[in-house]
Amino acid sequence: MLTAASKLEATTANDAEQELTDGFHLIIDALKLNGLNTIYGVPGIPITDFGRMAQAEGIRVLSFRHEQNAGYAASIAGFLTKKPGVCLTVSAPGFLNGLTALAHATTNCFPMILISGSSEREIVDLQQGDYEEMDQLAVAKPLCKAAFRVLHAQDIGIGVARAIRAAVSGRPGGVYLDLPAKLFGQVMNADAGKKSLVKVIDAAPAQIPAPDSVKRALDVLKSGKKPLIILGKGAAYAQADDEIRTLIEKSGIPFLPMSMAKGLLPDTHPQCAGAARSTVLKDSDVVMLIGARLNWLLSHGKGKTWGDAPKKFIQIDIEPKEMDSNVEIVAPVVGDIGSCVSALVQGMGSNWQTPPADWIKTVQTKRDDNVAKMAPRLMNNNSPMDYHGALGVLRTIIKERPDAILVNEGANTLDLARGIIDMYQPRKRIDVGTWGIMGIGMGYSIAAAIETGKPVLAVEGDSAFGFSGMEVETICRYKLPVCVVIFNNDGIYRGTDVNPSGGPDVAPTVFVKSARYDKMMEAFGGVGVNATTPDELKRAVNAAMDSGKPTLINAVIDPAAGSESGRIGNLNPQSVLKKK
């Protein structure tokens, strides 16, 4: 509805006044009607006024410095809330910047809607050279789950409803909503406009698994002498935390969390096999995947990682096409994770046999060995720091503040932090996801602070931070409780590579030596700290988490620390320094 200040009035033939609305307000009303009250975006033609009006109407509008970061923010907002995160961009270049995040959301199965202004259809279709001309709908289509264009104000309600339903139902993903500039100004009768809006009922309906499939899965699980459960980020997304915990504990089966599923049950849980990863993948005989895909992160379910022992896979996923995508799935269970896990728990009955004691013992021994081997390395107070000394401090801080959100990206910084920092609560670790992408850091941090109200600790490689670093201004502008720690070892993987040609340029993996990223934060009124020892790092992070002030800590890491194997993972926390 129009505000008093912006009411548009028209005079009918008999001089009676008729209340009108327009495209701007219909879009705002449609979003609000469906509980979408936050927009992440970058203003500009033709959506600047839209952002202003949305803010005036009570939507939280967060302006970023680059659309890709706003898009990543929207994507992770979708993961954290199960509602589509909304990103708003300008035409062509802004749209393209946001598109990377939309594709990322689709790949990661996060619900997100990219709303983009676009130039005039008539001119675009005749390719007459409009301002920022591009057939955005056609470009977006292959990169998202669904794409819609709304041409008439009376269709806005349906367009927004379809976008929401497409984003969250079934396997969630990214949706593109194309709004040509002319649509915003289209005027229509306010009553008719209101009636044209659609409140989406039951946007992501429960998908109950077939009873036969549940029985089959339980029969296979029961047959295992060395069973394993793998939890993926789909399990974290489902917000079926209690059901999942019950399943794991009732079954007595060791579980391996993928990185964004860490904390669904604490990493310190006696059944957690995170620190016995190689052993459980190689030696297990029955593997139940819950919201995890057999993609590159699980070596496609075959090869050396999985050892020679024959395996039977059970898979729980909402998407039937996921089954048999890499190896044979002997017991597919198709449905939403909450419904599937509840059905499995019910089917287990009251006299479920926990796995043989020797399997449990093997897993526990391996885990305890790995944890014990790593422990002394986390205690050093070296200067410059190594990864273990610095991460040892952060591990303790997260243990003491288990509800903080940990954002993590980088190569070595990612691979080592994943293993070293234990998580205790669901959906507290957000990271590079399915693509192993660089650049999510500041967008994720901003959305995590906005959506959860919790303190955020972003642990960033110096290279990874560079992709979204300008958003520290956004963090300061909105006074968000985000503490960014940059593991600064002067380069990508490490800062000591040399130019083999002997020429004047530094090696492609090397950055400015001894850079002071903390000064960036100070430039915008935040707190900047240069930390050269684990003790200094600990003090600075604790101060930031206590104060909630935007803080950036330049953690000075030995430039020779780090390994190139970080680029594909498989970096053992115990061996990184030996590999350099």
Taking CB atoms, the residue at the shortest distance from ligand OXK is 569
**Which CB sits closer to ligand OXK, 40 or 313?**
313
CB of 424 vs ligand OXK, minimal distance in Å: 13
Instruction: Report the alpha-carbon distance of residue 251 to residue 222 in Å, rounded.
Output: 9
Q: Mark out the alpha helices in 410-558 (DSSP H runs).
A: 412-420, 441-452, 462-466, 472-477, 518-523, 534-547
Q: Does 276 bind ligand OXK (CB under 6 A)?
A: yes
DSSP per-residue codes, 194-243 = HHH--PPSSSS---PPPHHHHHHHHHHHHH-SSEEEEE-HHHHHTT-HHH
- HSE of 446 in the Cβ direction (CA atoms, 13 Å)? 36
Phi (first) and psi of residue 125, to 5 degrees: -65, -30
Among 121, 401, 418, 538, binds ligand OXK (CB under 6 A): 418
Contact pattern for ligand OXK over residues 94 through 113, marking x by CB under 6 A = --------------------
Choices 13-21, 40-48, 283-291, 411-419; region in contact with ligand OXK by CB under 6 A: 411-419
User: How many residues of this chain interact with ligand OXK, rule: CB under 6 A?
Assistant: 26
Contact pattern for ligand OXK over residues 518 through 557, marking x by CB under 6 A = ----------------------------------------
Among 215, 477, 567, 580, binds ligand OXK (CB under 6 A): 567
Q: Does 272 bind ligand OXK (CB under 6 A)?
A: no
CB of 200 vs ligand OXK, minimal distance in Å: 34
Choices 127-135, 204-212, 318-326, 370-378; region in contact with ligand OXK by CB under 6 A: 370-378
- Give the containing element (helix H, strand E) for 287: strand 286-290
Selection from 291, 295, 292, 242 nearest residue 265 by Cα? 242
**Which CB sits closer to ligand OXK, 282 or 516?**
282
Q: How far is CA 221 from CA 194, 272, 289, in A?
A: 53, 18, 11
Q: How far is CA 206 from CA 82, 202, 215, 238, 335, in A?
A: 13, 9, 19, 11, 8
Among 335, 355, 528, 573, binds ligand OXK (CB under 6 A): 573
Choices 138-146, 196-204, 320-328, 412-420; region in contact with ligand OXK by CB under 6 A: 412-420
Q: How many helices (H) and strands (E) does the chain have?
A: 23, 20
Instruction: Report the alpha-carbon distance of residue 133 to residue 126 in Å, rounded.
Output: 11
Among 31, 137, 197, 275, binds ligand OXK (CB under 6 A): 275
Among 38, 186, 259, 554, binds ligand OXK (CB under 6 A): 259
- Give the containing element (helix H, strand E) for 174: strand 174-180
Q: Does 339 bind ligand OXK (CB under 6 A)?
A: no
Selection from 415, 464, 427 nearest residue 442 by Cα? 464
As given in the structure block, the two tokens for residue 485 are: 């720690």
- Where b means 16+ CB within 10 Å and e means fewer, 388-421 reads bbbbbbbbbbbeebeebbbbbbbbbbbbbbbbbb
CB of 259 vs ligand OXK, minimal distance in Å: 5
Q: Does 572 bind ligand OXK (CB under 6 A)?
A: yes
Q: How far is CA 224 from CA 24, 187, 246, in A?
A: 58, 65, 19
CB of 346 vs ligand OXK, minimal distance in Å: 32
Among 28, 86, 175, 374, binds ligand OXK (CB under 6 A): 374
- Give the burial class of 566: count Cβ atoms within 10 A of its Cβ; 0-12 exposed, 13-18 middle, 19 or more buried: buried
**Which CB sits closer to ligand OXK, 50 or 306?**
306
**Preceding omega of 46 cis (within 30 degrees of 0):** yes
Instruction: Report the alpha-carbon distance of residue 190 to residue 25 in Å, rounded.
Output: 10
Choices 64-72, 113-121, 319-327, 561-569; region in contact with ligand OXK by CB under 6 A: 561-569
Position of tokens 């075959």?
302
**Which CB sits closer to ligand OXK, 452 or 509?**
509
Q: Does 274 bind ligand OXK (CB under 6 A)?
A: yes
SS3 (DSSP) at 14: coil
| DSSP percent split of the chain into helix, strand, coil, nearest 5 | 45, 20, 35
**Which CB sits closer to ligand OXK, 75 or 259?**
259
Selection from 434, 473, 430 nearest residue 454 by Cα? 430
Among 128, 223, 514, 570, binds ligand OXK (CB under 6 A): 570
**Which CB sits closer to ligand OXK, 108 or 119?**
108
Q: Does 438 bind ligand OXK (CB under 6 A)?
A: yes
Q: Does 466 bind ligand OXK (CB under 6 A)?
A: no
Among 2, 103, 318, 432, binds ligand OXK (CB under 6 A): 432
Selection from 94, 22, 27 nearest residue 54 by Cα? 27
Contact pattern for ligand OXK over residues 277 through 316, marking x by CB under 6 A = xxx-----------------x-------------------
Contact pattern for ligand OXK over residues 212 through 251, marking x by CB under 6 A = ----------------------------------------
Q: Does 208 bind ligand OXK (CB under 6 A)?
A: no
CB of 121 vs ligand OXK, minimal distance in Å: 39
CB of 364 vs ligand OXK, minimal distance in Å: 13
Among 29, 283, 415, 460, binds ligand OXK (CB under 6 A): 415
Choices 5-13, 369-377, 383-391, 439-447; region in contact with ligand OXK by CB under 6 A: 369-377
**Which CB sits closer to ligand OXK, 117 or 534?**
534
Q: Is the dihedral of CA 359, 230, 437, 550 positive or negative?
A: negative
As given in the structure block, the two tokens for residue 433 are: 């996801």
Q: Does 61 bind ligand OXK (CB under 6 A)?
A: no
Binding site for ligand OXK (CB under 6 A): 259, 274-279, 297, 370-371, 374, 411, 414-415, 418-419, 432, 436, 438, 566-567, 569-573
